[in-house]
């Protein structure tokens, strides 16, 4: 009898928790836009994956993939948008850089130039030499 009572109590408790969670999820606002103000933008942008960012901001003006030198493996991506963010006074930054690892934003850079200087960089990254990735001669 005790086991049956415990099972009924746990089932009822689980059902109540599920109902409360469903009600809370319905009251949580859906984010349908990304704020332009720099601090609000930084606070929220890492909650989105690349697909959602493109849906909300459009395609980036420029995108670079960072690869390991001598490999096709993409280890990061850098996206550039123009005139999407404002400073505290409401003036637009000419360029916003979003740095991704995998599918998430890990860094945001607001630039007072158009970002063309970055085109001169080689987007391939050379791994530092360590014992683990050094080629050892056959003996």
Model's pTM, two decimal places? 0.64
| Extents of the domains making up the chain | 1-30, 38-125
Q: For 7-17, write each residue's pLDDT tens digit.
A: 444 454 444 44
Do the Cβ atoms of 30 and 80 come closer than 8 Å?
Answer: no
At the topology level, CATH places domain 38-125 in: Beta-lactamase Inhibitory Protein; Chain:B, domain 1 (3.30.1450)
Output the pLDDT for position 22. 47
Distance of alpha carbon 121 from alpha carbon 11, whole angstroms: 60
């Amino acid at each position: 009898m005790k086991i049956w009572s415990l099972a009924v109590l746990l089932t009822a408790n689980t059902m109540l928790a599920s109902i409360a969670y469903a009600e809370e999820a319905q009251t949580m606002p859906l984010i349908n836009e990304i704020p332009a103000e720099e601090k609000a933008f930084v606070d929220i942008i890492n909650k989105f994956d690349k697909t959602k960012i493109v849906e909300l901001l459009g395609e980036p003006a420029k995108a670079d993939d960072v690869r390991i030198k001598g490999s096709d493996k993409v280890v990061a991506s850098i996206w550039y948008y123009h005139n999407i963010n404002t400073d505290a006074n409401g003036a637009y930054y000419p360029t916003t850089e979003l740095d991704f690892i995998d599918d998430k934003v890990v860094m945001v850079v607001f630039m007072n130039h158009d970002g063309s200087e970055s085109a001169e960089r080689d987007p391939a990254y050379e791994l530092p030499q360590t014992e683990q990735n050094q080629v050892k001669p056959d003996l």
